[in-house]
């Protein structure tokens, strides 16, 4: 089993959650004797997020750690990209700070990567019996509607693009991450869209998941922002903004087809 990984945790005002969850991640790495690095990206927090991370790192024996601090709040997408590009292991995983997907589900993603996929991502929609604590009804239905819109607008065939638990084979994915443009909540869609259009091998995998109270997402405000970002992705695709990524994709290097699936007209 692949044991050399980076784990990236983007965090904005997550001092309370990180106080418990960073030690959980560290213990997981130590228990399984992984050659892992743990990177926390503090996205301009106004609480003690950075201090909590530094305190947890003192007990991270045999775990390489790094705290990156954004000068101001730049968005989850920006922070995930910074963490991924700072990683040094061949596979990098990003996890939400609330660990709504338990950290041991890393092995589920690694199994997919070892199976030949370049990007593996957790899904709550493939097997909903794995959801322990559901989101409030309105938020859950809103998520389903959003993913339907994503499929219509982008042509992506996946059922859940927004689960905050994704793994990247960095040799193949680095260029895509570098070229991404969405800094906030729509970044997942853009990364998957770019990877899909570039001919990378993607796998959506069922993972356990529990809703955690204290989400930073405002349902109405951020839903509108996410829809705006999906429209931006679609417009950029129509303008062939992502053309460079397609032409330097691993699929093209391997001599495989890089024909782009058409965007579905809305």
99 and 12 in contact (C-beta within 8 Å)? no
Above 80 in pLDDT, residue 251?
no
pLDDT in tens, 59-75: 999 999 999 999 999 99
Provide the pLDDT confidence category of residue 250 given band limits of 50, 70 and 90: very low
Overall pTM surpassing 0.85 (yes/no): yes
pLDDT in tens, 40-60: 999 999 999 999 999 999 999
35 token code pair: 């050659």
* Average pLDDT value for residue range 113-121: 98
Q: How far apart are CA 37 and CA 143, in angstroms?
A: 32
Residue 236 maps to a domain:
yes
Residue 8 maps to a domain:
yes
Comparing 83-87, 213-217, 229-233, 238-242, the range with the smallest average pLDDT is: 213-217
Domain residues for 95?
4-251
The CATH number covering residue 105 comes to 3.90.550.10
Residue 30 maps to a domain:
yes
Above 60 in pLDDT, residue 134?
yes
pLDDT at 262: 47
pLDDT at 137: 84
Above 70 in pLDDT, residue 243?
yes
Q: Structurally, how many domains does the chain consist of?
A: 1
pLDDT in tens, 18-47: 999 999 999 999 999 999 999 999 999 999
pLDDT at 220: 63
Above 60 in pLDDT, residue 256?
no
Under DSSP, is residue 95 helix (H, G, I), strand (E, B) or coil? strand
Query: Which has the closest alpha carbon to 206: 135, 80, 112?
Result: 112
pLDDT at 217: 61
| Phi and psi, residue 42, nearest 5° | -85, 110
Residue 261 maps to a domain:
no
Residue 265 maps to a domain:
no
Residue 63 maps to a domain:
yes
In terms of pLDDT, which residue wins out, 266 or 206?
A: 206
Q: Is 27 exposed, middle or buried (0-12, 13-18, 19+ CB in 10 A)?
A: middle
pLDDT in tens, 65-108: 999 999 999 999 999 999 999 999 999 999 999 999 999 999 99
Residue 260 maps to a domain:
no
pLDDT in tens, 137-175: 888 888 888 889 999 989 999 999 999 999 999 999 999
Residue 230 maps to a domain:
yes
């Amino acid at each position: 089993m692949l044991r050399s990984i980076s784990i990236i945790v983007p965090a904005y005002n997550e001092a309370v959650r990180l106080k418990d969850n960073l030690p959980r991640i560290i213990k997981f790495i130590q228990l399984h004797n992984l050659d892992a690095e743990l990177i926390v990206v503090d996205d301009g927090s106004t609480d003690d997020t950075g201090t909590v991370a530094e305190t947890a790192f003192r007990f991270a024996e045999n775990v390489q750690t790094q705290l990156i601090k954004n000068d101001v709040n730049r968005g989850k997408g920006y922070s995930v990209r910074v963490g991924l590009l700072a990683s040094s292991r061949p596979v990098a995983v990003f996890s939400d700070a609330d660990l709504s997907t338990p950290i041991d589900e890393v092995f589920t993603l690694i199994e997919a990567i070892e199976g030949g996929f370049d990007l593996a991502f957790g899904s709550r929609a493939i097997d909903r019996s794995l959801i322990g604590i559901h989101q409030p009804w309105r938020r859950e239905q809103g998520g389903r509607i959003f993913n339907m819109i994503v499929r219509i607008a982008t042509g992506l065939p996946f059922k859940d693009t927004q689960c905050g638990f994704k793994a990247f084979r960095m040799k193949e994915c680095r260029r895509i991450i570098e070229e991404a443009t969405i800094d906030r909540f729509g970044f997942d869609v853009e990364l998957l869209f770019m990877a899909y259009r570039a001919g990378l091998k993607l796998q959506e995998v069922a993972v356990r998941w529990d809703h955690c109270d204290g989400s930073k997402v405002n349902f109405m405000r951020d839903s509108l922002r996410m829809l705006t970002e999906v429209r931006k992705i679609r417009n950029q695709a129509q303008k062939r903004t992502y053309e460079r990524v397609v032409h330097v994709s691993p699929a093209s290097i391997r001599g495989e087809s890089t024909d782009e699936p058409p965007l579905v007209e809305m």
